[in-house]
Chains A and B, each alone.
Chain A
Amino acid sequence: MKFVDEFRDPDAAHRCAEAIAAITTRPWSIMEICGGQTHAIVRHGIDQMLPSGITLLHGPGCPVCVTPPGMIDAAIAIAKRPGAILCSFGDMLRVPGQAGSLLAARGQGADVRMVYSPLDALGIARANPDHEVVFFAVGFETTAPATAMSVLQAEREGLGNFSLLVSHVLVPPAMEVLLADPGNGVNGFLAAGHVCSVTGTREYGPIARRHGVPIVVTGFEPLDLLLGIYLCVRQLEEGRTQVENQYSRSVRPQGNAAALAALAQVFEVRAQEWRGMGKIEASGLGLAPAYASFDALGRFGDAAVQPERPGACISSEILRGMKKPCECVAFGKGCTPDHPLGATMVSSEGACAAYFRYRRPIDDEYWAA
C-alpha cells in the first residue's frame, strides 16, 4: 500500500536502527508527543530495536486520554436529556468519566451516536430538526479544524439544533509545562506529525531555543519513527537544538492556511483542564464570542463540568514521561483497559493501554486468569 508498505519495510527499519546505534555515544531520553506514535512504537517494537542508551519517554499526546472526566460527565448528562442526540468519535465512547461512560449511557437508553467527522453530526442535525444534536469535540489541532468547519457550515445553513461540547487541546503549551519542570528528563522531542500538518512548525522554534531541546516533527510508521529518532539523536550528539521535519511528505513549515483560518475565526485560546495533568494556561480552545450560541454548555446550563477527583493513579507522572506504566503497582492488576483507574489507561492510545496490550510478559498472572 502506497505510503505504508515503504515505511514498514523490516530490512530498511533494521538498517535505520543500526544507523542510530552507530551515531550514539551517550544515553539520551527522547519523548514522542503523540499517543498514535506511542501506540506504533510499542506495537511494532521500535523501542526494542534501539541501542540501550536511547530511552523513549511517552508524552501526553492522547487527546481522548486527557479529556477531563467532568467533561465526559457533562456529555453524558446532555445525552440523557429527552430529545438530545450526543455525537462522538468512537474511541471516546468507552472512556469513563466520574459517572460512567457514554457507551454505558447508551445502554441505559441515551441517544449516543458514533460519528467519523463533525460533519456527520451536522448531517444528523439536518435529518432530526426536532432534536438537539450535540457534537462532543475532542482532539488536538488535528481534529479542531473539522470542528470549526462544522460550526461555520451550521451557521451558513442556520441549523439552530446543532451545538458543541468543546474540549480541544493544544500541544505546544503542554510541552512547555513538561519542560518547565526541573525534574524532567527530556533531551529531545518527536513532535506529532499530524498536528504539525495543520499548525506548521513555527510554534516549535521558540520552544527548542528556550529550553535547548531538539524537536523533530515525525510521522507514525515504523520508518518515520526510526528516522525521527535518528535525526533527534544526531542533533543531540552534535549539540544542536533545532526544529527538523522528518514528515515532510505531509508537513509544511507554514501549516495548512485554510485550517488555521477556520480555527482563528471560530475558536479562542483558553486555559484548559487536562485529565491527569491539571489546568494548563492557554492550552485549550473555546468558542469565540461570535459563536458562543453553539456552546452546548451554555445551551444546557445544568450540564456543568465538575473538577477531577484525585485518585491513586500515577498517570500524571506517566504523562510527563517521569514513570513508565510498569512502574505502577496497579498496572495490569487493579487497572486494566476494562477497569481503568486513570488517563493513560482509558483510551487505547494511552501509554498504559499500549503497554497493557503489547508489553505484558506471557507468564503474567493476568494470562493465567
Chain B
Amino acid sequence: MNEAPSFSPVCPTPDKPGETVELGHGSGGRLTHDLIESVFRPAFAHCETDLTHDGAELEIGGARLAFTTDSYVVQPLFFPGGDIGTLAVNGTVNDLAMCGARPLALSCGFVIEEGYPLAELRRVAHSMQAAASATGVRLVAGDTKVVERGKGDGLYINTSGVGEIVAPLPVAPGRVRPGDAILLSGDIGRHGMAVMSAREDLGFDPPILSDCAALHSPVLRLIEEGIDIHCLRDCTRGGLATALIEIARSAGLAMKIEQNAVPVSEPVRGACEILGLDPLYVANEGRFVAILPGEQAEAALSVLRDFEQNAALIGMVEAGPEAVSLRTIGGSYALDFLSCEQLPRIC
C-alpha cells in the first residue's frame, strides 16, 4: 500500500455534497462573489480581465473596444418608470459607458415562455427601440427561444454590447489613487423601491419611479471636459455600497464616505424606513459613482449636475486597508457585502 497515488484530476475547490445555487448567488453580494471566485475564475483560468468589472477592454486592429453582456430577469416585467425592455438596453449601454466607451451596437436574446401575450412582447420590443434610439445605439443582432409553459418567468432578455472607448486613459479600479474624490451622479434607491412596490403591490403614493436611464451622456461629457476619470461604476444590484466595496477591493485602497452626503429622495427614504431597508444597498439603474482626481471634483460635479441636480461629492479615497467606511452621527463603520438581497424587517 506504499504506492504513490495514481494521478487523477482534482478540482481546485472540491464541491461540498448537496451544494446548490441559491437565489442569493444572483444578488450581487457576497454569494455572487463567492460564485465567481469558486466556479468561474478557476474555470476561466486564462481570462485576464477583471471579472468584477462592468465590461472587458479589447484592442482589435488598433481600435479600443469595450465589450459587455447582461441578462435581465426583472419581475414584474413592467414597473413604474420602465420595463424589462428599457432596462435591457439602458443596462448594457451603462456597462459600456462605465468602461469610458461610446456605446455603438447591441445584440438581444429573448427567452420567452410559452403562452406569453404577444401584445406585451410588442410593448417590450417598442420600449427597446425607443431606448436604443434615444441613446443612439443600434440593435444589430438577435435570437429568440421559447421555453415550455412554467419553465420561464414570462420573458428573459440578454443583451450584449460593444462600444468605442473614448477615455484617453484606462477607466479601471487600478487607476484609483489616494486623494481621489468619489462623486455620485444622483439620489439612490429609486429602481429597487419602484420594482419592490410593484412586485409587492405596496402602493406608495405618489408612486416611486425607477431611475432607469442611459448614463453615456454624462460620462462622455466628463471626458470631453477633460476630466481624468480614474474609475466608474454603475450602482445596480447591491446598490451604492456594493459598487464602492468592489472598487475599494480591486484598488486595494480605503474609502471614507459621509453618510449625510449621500442623496436619498424623501419618498425612497420613507419607503426604506417603513420596510427596514438600507438605501445604500437598494438597486439603481441610472446612477453611477465616478472616481477622479480631487482637484477636478468641482468641475466634474458641475457637469454631473447638468444631468442630475442632486449629484454629490460623497467621500474621498485614502491610503489604508481596502475597505469602505461610512461616517455616521456617532462614529463610523465599514460597509460589507450583503450575503443576499435585503428582506423587509418585522418591526
Contacts and interface: CB of A to CB of B under 8 A. Distances in A.
Interface residues of A, number: 45
B330 interface: yes
B106 to A, nearest CB: 33
B325 interface: yes
B270 interface: yes
B347 A143 contact: yes
A151 interface: no
A20 to B, nearest CB: 12
Given A4-B273, A107-B23, A45 B333 contact: yes
A48 B331 contact: yes
A357 B336 contact: yes
Contacts of A116: 200, 202, 275, 344
A64 B276 CA distance: 14
Interface string A49-64: 1000000000000011
Nearest to A138: B346
Given A4-B273, A337-B339, A362-B321, A139 B329 contact: no
A358 B347 CA distance: 20
Contacts of B323: 362, 367
B20 A89 contact: no
A349 B345 contact: yes
A89 B276 CA distance: 12
Interface in B303-346: 320-323, 325, 328-334, 336, 339-340, 343-346
A114 B201 CA distance: 12
Interface residues of B, number: 34
Contacts, number: 98
Contact of A360 (B273, B330, B334): B334
Residue in B22, B269, B336 whose Cβ sees the most chain A Cβ within 10 Å: B336
B302 interface: no
A308 interface: no
Interface stretch (A25-33, A91-99, A316-324): A91-99
A191 B334 CA distance: 29
Contact of A90 (B202, B260, B343): B343
Contacts of A92: 346
B266 interface: yes
Given A116-B344, A338-B339, A362-B325, A46 B330 contact: yes
A184 B155 CA distance: 58
Interface in A204-242: 222
A47 B330 contact: yes
A61 to B, nearest CB: 10
A130 B299 CA distance: 63
B330 A44 contact: yes
A45 B346 contact: no
A89 B23 CA distance: 18
Interface of A: 1, 4, 8, 10, 13, 17, 36, 43-49, 63-64, 89-94, 103-104, 107, 114, 116, 138-140, 142-143, 194, 222, 337-338, 348-349, 357-360, 362-363, 367
